[in-house]
Copies of this chain bind each other. A is one copy, B any other.
């Protein structure tokens, strides 16, 4: 991802102190960062760095095709997640019970892309496949939970996690 530096310079984008910090964090941390986490991490390196700068930088990187935006099926809420764009396209597989995210690479994704391009004469710039369900581990746990709650009325889970006081 530090490849982002030359990429940005080439576009006439200034490499500021703040952007350097953010770029390095994204590079090191890797997967599935949301703006707020990135902001918290960046603040430790530069307490003055503003949340707004994080959003602006992410937008810049997104439009420059250097990071991809995900939402992981809104498992954690309505925020977006970001990851360095890699050569290999992959799907995100997220467990709706434990939140674990797996990545899936494979031929079907490439084939899908090719078919869409030729079928519509479409020029693909970004693509994402997100899959939600239950991982092997949570499937068994859920079976147990179901017994307990089977008789209860429909439950629509709370949207945001209950706010915790410290």
Listed in ascending order, the chain A residues whose CB lies under 8 Å from chain B are: 11-13, 59-60, 63-64, 69, 71, 73-74, 78, 91, 93, 95-96, 102, 104, 106, 108-109, 111-113, 115-116, 119-136, 139, 153-154, 156-157, 159
Is there an interface contact between B129 and A133, defined as CB atoms closer than 8 Å?
A: no
Contact of A111 among B73, B95, B108, B154 (CB under 8 A): B108
Is there an interface contact between A130 and B127, defined as CB atoms closer than 8 Å?
A: yes
- Sampled A-B contacts (9; CB under 8 Å): A63-B157, A91-B116, A93-B120, A104-B115, A104-B119, A108-B112, A120-B136, A125-B132, A129-B129
| Identical copies of this chain, number | 2
Is there an interface contact between B128 and A129, defined as CB atoms closer than 8 Å?
A: yes
- Kindly provide the distance from the CB of A114 to the nearest chain B CB, expressed in whole angstroms: 9
Q: How far is the CA of A102 from the CA of B124 in the complex (A)?
A: 13
Contact of A12 among B139, B154, B157 (CB under 8 A): B154
Main secondary structure of the interface of A (DSSP, over half): mixed
Q: How far is the CA of A60 from the CA of B71 in the complex (A)?
A: 20
Is there an interface contact between B132 and A73, defined as CB atoms closer than 8 Å?
A: no
A159 nearest in chain B by CB position: B59
- Kindly provide the distance from the CB of A158 to the nearest chain B CB, expressed in whole angstroms: 11
**Known contacts A91-B116, A112-B106, A154-B12; A131 and B127 CB within 8 A of each other:** yes
Is there an interface contact between B136 and A125, defined as CB atoms closer than 8 Å?
A: no
Q: How far is the CA of A63 from the CA of B132 in the complex (A)?
A: 12
Chain B positions within 8 Å of A133 at CB level: 122-126
Chain B positions within 8 Å of A159 at CB level: 59
Is there an interface contact between A136 and B112, defined as CB atoms closer than 8 Å?
A: no
